[in-house]
Amino acid sequence: MSVLVWNCRGMGNPRAVRFLKEIIQKHRPSLVFLSETLVRRNKIESICRLIQFEGFFTIEPQGHGGGLALMWKNTGAVEIKDSCNHYIDFEVECEQIGRWRYTGFYGCPERGRRQESWDLLRGLASSSHLPWYVLRDFNDMLYEFEKLGGRPHPRNLLEGFHNTVIDCGLEDLGFTGCEFTWERYRGTPRWIQERLDRGLANQGWRLLFPNAEIQVLEVSTSDHLPLILQLNKQVFAQKAKRFRFENIWIKEADCRNLVQNSWNSNDLGNILEKIEY
């Protein structure tokens, strides 16, 4: 099972819709969460049909900004618990695993309103004891190195978000792929890159999905890169290399003596390194 999340910056753009469809065809997620959709419910419904998903839930945009959308394949798997302009909170039922909780979150972009985002996150943390995962655009950073270019991120905002994550019992899951998820002014001296999108989980969720992995996709029609959450990332043990014998080795003058000596010394691992051909 996988989850796609993306700050799409408007699904009224046909190019963004085509891009979303291509991502879904390639990665085949079971859930899709979009922020800043900038479109009404009827548009999300048509997109849901286009990508052949069975269920959807939307938060209408406010004025010229905002808008959230959740789409899923199995109509019986998702139960919406709460929602507002900044999040959709729902529970997921998985066979052989049980019930867990997911929150698609969109933090207040205005710096003066970050405390509102932090208070919303704390309120969500206290509303349930299920294994919990929060993923999307927090419009916040945890560390100074998560920004490149422009002025340093204010220390009070770094500390405020960091303390909120700790208070909520959450941990950052990390990611693979591009180091930053948002950018502005690319190709100019004012180029700024930041990691505004991330996944946070409590201990119960991490125990439930110990191999979960977030991949940052490196192509987008928005200023935010999409993220793919793989819940059960396959971990393959490296196979031991098989010994292969080349008939040409027996033509070497020292082959017999080398094999005999290595056998007697119980050091077969060095045979190939000593044969020159």
Q: How confident is the model at residue 259 (pLDDT cuts 50, 70, 90)?
A: low
Number of alpha carbons in the 13 Å side-chain half-sphere of residue 63: 2
Task: Tell me the CA distances in angstroms from 245 to 259, 260, 264, 271, 273, one per residue in order.
Answer: 12, 15, 19, 11, 13
Domain span(s) for CATH 3.60.10.10 in the chain: 2-230
Summarised one tens digit per residue, pLDDT across range 181-210 is: 999 999 999 999 999 999 999 999 999 999
- The position carrying tokens 């269920």 is 55
Per-residue model confidence (pLDDT) at position 57: 97
Please give the residue that has the higher pLDDT: either 267 or 90: 90
Please give the residue that has the higher pLDDT: either 1 or 106: 106
pTM comes to 0.82
Beta-bridge partners for 133: 102, 201
Mean pLDDT of the chain: 88
Per-residue model confidence (pLDDT) at position 232: 80
Q: Are 138 and 197 in contact (CB under 8 A)?
A: yes
Task: Tell me the CA distances in angstroms from 239 to 236, 242, 243, 271, one per residue in order.
Answer: 9, 9, 12, 20
Summarised one tens digit per residue, pLDDT across range 153-181 is: 999 999 999 999 999 999 999 999 999 99
Length of the chain: 277
Summarised one tens digit per residue, pLDDT across range 213-249 is: 999 998 899 999 999 999 985 443 344 444 455 555 5
Q: Are 130 and 103 in contact (CB under 8 A)?
A: no
Q: Which of 51-60, 125-134, 243-252 has the lowest mean pLDDT?
A: 243-252
| Separation of alpha carbons 27 and 20, rounded Å | 11
Cα dihedral 82, 91, 182, 17 sign:
negative
Q: Specify the CATH number for 2-230; select among 3.40.50.880, 1.20.1530.20, 3.60.10.10, 3.40.1160.10.
A: 3.60.10.10
Q: Between the CA atoms of 193, 194, 199 and 201, what dihedral angle is there, to the nearest 10 degrees?
A: 150
